Structure 1
Amino acid sequence: MTLVGCAGKPKSIRSARDLPGSRIGVQLGTTSDTKVSKMEHDKAGTQVERFTKTADAIQALLQGKVNCVVEDEQPAKAFVAQNDGLAILPHAYSTEPYAFCVAHGRRDLVRNINHALRLLRNDGTLDTIVSRHLRQKMSIAYQPRAIGRPNGRLVVATNATFQPYEYYDNGRVVGIDIDIMQAVADVLGMTLQVEDMNFDAVVTSVQTGKADVGAAALTVTPDRLRNVSFTDAYARSRQVIIVKASHHEARSQSLAQKFRQDFLVEGRYLYLLQGLGNTLVITLFAILISLCLGSLIAIVRTTHDRTGRYTVLNALCKLYLVVIRGTPTMVQLLIIYYVIFAAADVSKVLVAIVAFGINSSAYLAEVVRSGIMSIDRGQSEAGRSLGLSYGQTLRLIILPQAFKNVLPAIGNELITLLKETSISGYIGLVDLTKGSDIIRSITYDAILPLGVVAVIYLAIVLSLSSAVGALEKKLRKNER
């Protein structure tokens, strides 16, 4: 199995001994990442390429961007079964146990889950769940018991890109971990609620109280133990090395076959429709928040500049603008979700609306302020001479003209806001981009899902641009 190594020369990957000097693909934050990171700065020039999803690492391997991918055995088998030209090396890279994580301080929950796992292990339920999924007989997978559930919800954080432990099937998150957690919820008399998110957000969600349990084929590591507690192990897995075979016959598919596989089978297009709906809702309400808050900030700042009033408010507004414009949107989104709304059970759509609205308002504030400042002072003086108050002059004379002047810039901010919503998946919200990610995690095809999403974004942007242009043309008719 010959691949190109870091220096551009052929690199043969036949065992773990051949890894030094190669490019290794891993999923960010996994045990594979931890283990291979020890080789990253060796004298052989080993490089570790980290991806948010193993499916992306596999795609990089197929395209020759990495020499191999280190992954857990069962998900690796699923990737190899779906992709021609991939192979798993016969010897394990390492062996590790899996456990569920729970926030520090919730010892009662750890004890209860351990008690449930012992019962499920003794009556054979655990073995049955694992064997059924490994044989891919989902039709006889674990079914929830018809019992009362008086003890509330058990919120489980997972990363549904890890077949057979957690993945999407017919629009639902399923897998070994999910079935085990459902069985545990049955024993505890609780209602199971599954939250899909990026793998590196699972432990954080548990730590901050957004989820009760992390179930994502997690292994116990010293770094994780500093942040969360773990239950007893419920399974063991081998870390294996996936390589690209030297000789294979790729199965060719027509564009129509790929389209059917990616979007029509099992109604996978519904992920895009759900994501599109969330994206449009977030964009609409976020821009409304942005316009209102940004306009207030702009009024405070221009009033201070022209009259000297609102000194304290002006200082606070300037501080707000510096902080919001000086920090990345994704960091703000994560802070609002994990810190500000840490103890609140609020909709993720609402969190995204607030986060993007606050971020966009900082930019629109300066846009609106520039529009106000562009209006000649004589307009204000004329309004005051007619007996209008400062507020009435601003509302009836200055702001209408200012908004007309900066309408193109507001349209640009709206388009930027629309595209920025693509990071909503970091808090487990299914937006348009996340819908594409789900499809890619199922089909292992990157081209069509990403291409279709790009076309959808482009169509929305063109529509918004046309609408803003038409509105601008209409508003300027009275200038003729």
Structure 2
Amino acid sequence: MNFKKYRSRFLLVFAALTLLFSSVLLTSCQGKKIKNTVFSVDDLAGKTIGVQLGTTGDTLVSDYETDGSGTTVSRYNKGSDAIQALKQGKADAVVIDEQPALAFVKANPDLTILEEEFANEDYAICVAKGNSLTAKLNEAIEVLMADGTIQKLIDDYVGDNATFSGYKSPDGIRRTNGTLVMATNAYFKPYEYYEGGSIIGIDADIAQAIADYLGMNLKIEDMEFDSIITAVSSGKADFGMAGMTVTDERKKNIDFTTTYTTSKQVIIVRDDNASASGMSFAEKFKTDFVKEARYTYLLKGLLNTVIIAFFAALMGVVIGFLIAVVRSNHDKTGHMKILNFICNIYLTVIRGTPTMVQLLIIYYVIFSSVHIDKLIVAILAFGINSGAYVAEIFRSGIMSIDNGQFEAARSLGLSYKTTMISVILPQAFKNVLPALANEFIVLLKETSISGYIGLNDLTRGGDIIRSITYDPMLPLIGVAIIYLVMVMGLSQLVKKLERRLRNNER
């Protein structure tokens, strides 16, 4: 897709719609500044603590939930979401790793880090149990630590003298030993984060240095933090690096390499002494979408969303039609008992379980040992899910046609197949068109969960922008506007089709 060709037109319309929605939300969200209530570790008891799901901070503060102090732990998929909850007063403090905390506070002057640390921790690479790769990674880490490479890479991102120049692979490396797949969660600056459309950071650079040492290519897969261990254990990734702390609980499921750095957990709170400051809408829009062409995250995600929705809808129609024919045939004639039984099992399982669970099962369980493109996995998952609902929509349409028409057609000598194709199905299709269009709209919006398997869809494109700019409002509104426009466009197409079908009846 040629993004530059439509850049100005897209940004103009997008800015106008975003301004309209933002103005309404800003008007309704104005309020007084929320005071800080946490000044030390002792003050955490009885408060609401925000953490990133599955992190060490999550594990450490979980004890507060059961000590009778009335503490509430709010768990978020991303650290940036926990930070936003803190800014809005939905959390009293956030417990997170020190370096990401420094990045959050730098981007949010109204927050501060308490001097008292919460806990110390060691970072290492996680590998599947019993994988021989662990020994090779340990060898590479020991060599890179001995020659100062790892410390140099850490210093490049941490401290007052950080240059953020990134790691450059030496020339002449022969990559004849295959490809290393690294699972990460690229919302953890400075360890891993997006810049210029690529994932960079301390962990990304160390992983590249390790791949260079082993004579291998490196492929980085971005996914939710709590999916990393699952991806590594199931073989979807060779190893995981995301500021991964070594804990006894995690050791039950995965192995760890030698520690490559240490860190600490700190507490972020609201800063009562911070002066009010902010950017204008134009400045925020430029930062969120125009700077470094960040709008392309949305466009690329939109492309994936459209591809998934289109092919999943086609797959759902095919599956649904076949099942509807089997079930309606059984209802009318009593035939196809075995096929009808199988179809009923399929409908019960698919309609009785959440779409997200089905997506995760297909990716991590059914295709656990098969490397298959995530786009295909998403199409299969959503197509199979949609097929169950489309089947009942088609069946209800077929059964809504008066049985007298079926009997009249058969009495004229038409076969069952000809009767269905020429008499029943055309009428049934017109009857179910509104319900069918509604199912396609639901399918389009359901694709927003594709990010759980690390697929960059439209919603995840907005998440990437939020992780870079720490501004939740415009990226979220932008994503919502794009979905709204697509749904409105689809609704208009359906209305035109309905009018044309009605005209044909005259």
TM-score by length of 2: 0.91
Task: For 2:53 and 2:170, locate their aligned partners in 1 and report how far apart those are by CA, in whole Å.
Answer: 33
The offset of 1:396, in angstroms, is 2.1
Is residue 287 from structure 1 mapped to residue 338 from structure 2 by the alignment? no
CA shift for structure 1 position 144: 5.5
Correspondent of 1:81 among 106, 109, 133: 106
2:169–2:212: 8 Å Cα contact kept in structure 1? Answer: no
Secondary structure, aligned partner of 1:25: strand
- Is 1:349–1:429's contact at 8 Å kept on the other side of the alignment? yes
Equivalent position to 1:133, from 157, 167, 170: 157
- Kindly indicate whether the alpha-carbon contact (under 8 Å) linking 1:149 and 1:190 is maintained by their aligned counterparts in 2: yes
CA deviations on 1:316-371 (whole Å, 9 max, x unpaired) are: 11111111000000000000000111111111111000000111111111100000
- For 1:73-152, list aligned pairs within 5 A: 73-106=98-131, 108-134=132-158, 135-143=161-169, 145-152=171-178
**Which shows bigger deviation, 231-240 or 35-44?**
35-44
State yes or no: 1:386 paired with 2:412.
Answer: yes
Give secondary structure in 2 for the equivalent of 1:120.
Answer: helix
Q: Displacement of 1:209 after TM fit?
A: 0.4
Matches within 5 A, 1:270-349: 270-349=296-375
Say if 2:50 and 2:82, in contact at 8 Å, map to a contact too: yes
Cα separation, 2, equivalents of 1:65 and 1:142? 42
Answer whether contact 1:54 1:161 (CA < 8 A) is retained. Answer: yes
- The residue identity in structure 2 corresponding to 1:155 is V
Q: Deviations over 1:80-100 (max 9, x none)?
A: 000021110112100000000
In structure 2, distance between residues paired with 1:443 and 1:137: 19
Q: Give the whole-Å Cα distance in 2 for the aligned partners of 1:128 and 1:154.
A: 22
Instruction: Give the whole-Å Cα distance in 1 for the aligned partners of 2:234 and 2:92.
Output: 37
Query: AA paired with 1:126?
Result: I
- Which of residues 187, 190, 193 in structure 2 aligns to 1:167? 193
Question: 1:400 aligns to what SS in structure 2?
Answer: helix
Q: Deviations over 1:221-260 (max 9, x none)?
A: 1221111111010000011000101121132211010000
Distance 1:451 1:136, change over 3 A: farther
State which drifts further: 135-144 or 197-206: 135-144
Match 1:66 to one of 66, 79, 91: 91
Aligned partner of residue 350 in structure 1, secondary structure:
helix
When structure 1 is superposed on structure 2, of 376-385 and 80-89 the one drifting more is 376-385
Structure 1 residue 105 displacement after superposition: 2.0
Aligned pairs, number: 471
Contact 1:78–1:163, Cα closer than 8 Å, also in 2? yes
Gaps of 5+ in 2: 1-33
Residue deviations 1:377-421, cap 9 Å, x none?
222223323333212221222111111110000000000000000
Does 2:297 match 1:252? no
CA distance in 1, matches of 2:381, 2:415: 35
Q: Is the 8 A contact 1:144 1:183 kept in 2?
A: no
1:15 maps onto 2:40 in alignment: yes
Q: Which amino acid aligns with 1:95?
A: N
| Aligned mates of 2:263, 2:477 — CA distance in 1 | 35
After superposition, what is the alpha-carbon deviation per residue over 1:259-288, rounded to whole angstroms, capped at 9, x for unaligned? 000011111111100100000000000000
The 3 A distance-change label for structure 1 pair 94 and 232 is: same
Find the residue that maps to 1:154 and give its secondary structure: strand
CA–CA separation in structure 1 for the residues paired with 2:154 and 2:422: 69
Residues 401 and 341 of structure 1, relative CA distance in 2, 3 Å threshold? same
RMSD: 1.3
Are 1:198 and 1:428, in contact at CA under 8 Å, matched by a contact in 2? yes
Asked whether 1:37 is paired with 2:62, we answer yes
User: What percent of counterpart residues are identical?
Assistant: 57
Residue 239 (structure 1) aligns with: 265
- Structure 1, unaligned stretches of length 5 or more? 1-8
Cα 1:373–1:130 change in 2 (3 A) is same
State the Cα distance separating 1:42 from its structure 2 match.
Answer: 2.3
C-alpha distance in structure 2 between counterparts of 1:411 and 1:337, whole Å:
28
